Structure 1
Amino acid sequence: MKTLTTKEGGWSALFAPGYGGRLIRLRWNEFDLLRHPEREEELQEGQFVFGIPVLLPPNRIDAGTFEFQGRRYQLPLNEPQRGNHLHGLVFDREWEVRDHSASSVTLGCRVEGAAGLGVPFDVEIQYEFSGRTMIQRTTVRNEGSTPMPFGIGFHTVFRSPRRARLTAAEFRWEIERPRFLANGRKLPWGQFNPDNWFDPSGQVISCHFPMETKEIDGKPFRGALLDYGTLQIRYESGPEFRHWCLWNHDPADGFLCPEPMSWMVNAPNLPLPPEVTGFQDIAPHAAWSGVNRITVEERQ
């Protein structure tokens, strides 16, 4: 497996361009923030449970198909047991290294032809390390002559913290099993609300909700707080990422995965307006951009 390493200040990061341009290990002064593979075989077998997989489009689409502006689109049925398309078109492709320095890495992937979204497109992600913050800047360009239906997300697999909270809305989206598709209905939180501090080790977590900006320590914040005792991680996203999922599969697996997404699960097929679902398009020869940040706060 070919990898790329960068070190800046307290940061060290390991990338695997051949595995979807993935950041597979992220450390702050010898502390691992992400769940990382020890062997390449683990990365092959657990495509979505190590590092930061890039999902374009994110999560599930019913039957892999939807209609947009009078045209029907068909994505691969790569979750055949549930009849869904899952996690997009770039997570398993070879990416190229477009720039590399001690403080910055830029990776990119150009997808030729229709590839299920009707147009060729290019996705580029820059990781910049400065002080206690890693900034992830994402740009997606429609290189075709027709609009590109668009959604993107990140399956960010943190090591499980002692406790966590997210600036979640006052409701969650209902997810219907066994196919794990959103239906557009709102549900109350009930016993578990990630807007309050919770212990991930005590429960199986799988939920989907709109993200809001709230006052945290007297400042506006939009994202997740992960408390590791001597360290606290602030995982912050811009308003481009309207909806998040939160998942840990099984507490014994030792990870917590907060997933910022620009659209809801199955957004193109939901009976809700785009301003709610986050479904959007990129105009011909235009671009979309979004920002996420990981900031480390040390505690005595």
Structure 2
Amino acid sequence: MERRLLQAGRQAVTQNRAVTEYKIRAGEYTATITAQAGALRELRHRGRDLIVPFPEGGPIPDYRGIVAAPWPNRIADGRYTFDGTEYEVPVNEPERGCALHGLVFPQDWTLESHDESSVTLSCTPEPTPGYPHTVRIGVEYRLSGDGLYSRVTASNAGATAAPYGVCPHPYLVAGPAPLDEWILEVPAGEFLEVTPDRLLPKETRTVEDHGFDFRSPRAIGVTEIDHAFTDIAFDGAGQARMLVRDPGGTGVGMAWDRTCQWIQIHTADKQPPAPNRLGLAVEPMTCPPDAFNSGVDLIRLEPGATHEASWSIFAA
């Protein structure tokens, strides 16, 4: 059953309204998902946080745990051209002049189903001049003894083709040691170089002989990362896995399939007094940053078409 959390007088309450949450459990895992943003608020294994949580009721800091759709990452200046028509969506990252993380995260998502180990939510943003499409986004969260499986389904219920991309946005927690000491392994041979001021794409580069080469496990150290990686090594079953471990022996990992040929890694660097390097953002993406402009791996969602992407988080 859904659980309503009314916390009058707290900043966490969004617009003085109740916030609905759904708890699920299986084996040694528990998770909490919010109707607000369809976000993963907590994920624990044996009581240990696998992601950086956020407070009950929101607001959601740093987009933690959201579903970023219908585009992941950013669109430069909030402007793009699709099928010969120019569009403009709101800029919500004013310091970089970009439209960040899509349209569905501010929404309250609708419950489709909920049982002890799973919950499914959906959201259909109203068409706007900047994105005049009717795309229904559904997210399934399902726990098992192996971890949390997530699947996002996008269905175009409109009459015109729509540009589309998606990613999750969890901040992983390997353990109690500082992030600098965590041991990271990412099976990616290339990264996307970006401009230092706006983090907009320049060109892909090999990780060979670069500080971003984590194909073999090693400590993150003082390396600051907020980049997309590609040339990902998938196994025979079409799965890729990344791992991050605490020197004390705990760890967490993510797995994803070939629908996500990119993965954003971010060491969550902040300037004081903001909390610095609290967790490692890991975002399997169907397309790179600013794909609405570059067209790289951009999904063209035709009327009546459906797209699915999935990933999992597990204790390691």
User: After superposition, what is the alpha-carbon deviation per residue over 1:104-130, rounded to whole angstroms, capped at 9, x for unaligned?
Assistant: 110111112236322111100111112
Distance 1:114 1:144, change over 3 A: farther
Taking the TM superposition and a 5 Å limit, the aligned residue runs for 1:76-95 are 76-95=90-109
Pick the aligned partner of 2:255 from 236, 256, 275: 236
Match of 1:293 in 2: 312
Structure 2 residue runs without a partner (length 5+): 1-18, 176-181, 271-275
CA RMSD of aligned residues (A): 2.2
- 1:179 is paired with a residue whose SS is coil
> Does residue 35 in structure 1 map to residue 52 in structure 2?
yes
Distance 1:115 1:248, change over 3 A: farther
**Structure 1 residue 191: Cα displacement:** 2.7
Match of 1:6 in 2: 24
Taking the TM superposition and a 5 Å limit, the aligned residue runs for 1:16-35 are 16-18=34-36, 20-35=37-52
User: After superposition, what is the alpha-carbon deviation per residue over 1:174-209, rounded to whole angstroms, capped at 9, x for unaligned?
Assistant: 101211101234355513312221323543222221
> Does residue 255 in structure 1 map to residue 275 in structure 2?
no
Taking the TM superposition and a 5 Å limit, the aligned residue runs for 1:1-300 are 1-18=19-36, 20-38=37-55, 40=57, 43-44=58-59, 46-48=61-63, 50=64, 52-56=65-69, 57-114=71-128, 116-161=130-175, 162-169=182-189, 171-186=190-205, 188-189=207-208, 190-200=210-220, 202-214=222-234, 221-228=239-246, 229-250=248-269, 252-270=276-294, 274=295, 277-297=296-316
- 2:188 is paired with a residue whose SS is coil
- Does the Cα contact within 8 Å between 1:17 and 1:107 map onto a contact in 2? yes
**Structure 1 residue 235: Cα displacement:** 0.6
Structure 1 residue runs without a partner (length 5+): none
**Structure 1 residue 146: Cα displacement:** 0.6
Percent of pairs identical after alignment? 25
User: After superposition, what is the alpha-carbon deviation per residue over 1:256-277, rounded to whole angstroms, capped at 9, x for unaligned?
Assistant: 111111111111322xxx5xx2
Distance 1:221 1:240, change over 3 A: closer
Distance 1:143 1:185 in 2: 35
Aligned-partner residue type, residue 82 of structure 1 = R
- 1:186 is paired with a residue whose SS is strand
**Structure 1 residue 243: Cα displacement:** 0.9
Aligned-partner residue type, residue 256 of structure 1 = L
Q: Under a length normalisation based on structure 2, what TM-score does the superposition of the two structures give?
A: 0.83
Distance 1:220 1:119, change over 3 A: closer
- Does the Cα contact within 8 Å between 2:24 and 2:143 map onto a contact in 1? no
Aligned-partner residue type, residue 284 of structure 1 = P
Q: Under a length normalisation based on structure 1, what TM-score does the superposition of the two structures give?
A: 0.87
- 1:268 is paired with a residue whose SS is helix
The alignment covers a number of residue pairs equal to 284
- 1:264 is paired with a residue whose SS is coil
- Does the Cα contact within 8 Å between 2:263 and 2:285 map onto a contact in 1? yes
**Structure 1 residue 295: Cα displacement:** 2.9
- 1:149 is paired with a residue whose SS is strand
**Structure 1 residue 46: Cα displacement:** 1.3
Distance 1:10 1:160, change over 3 A: closer
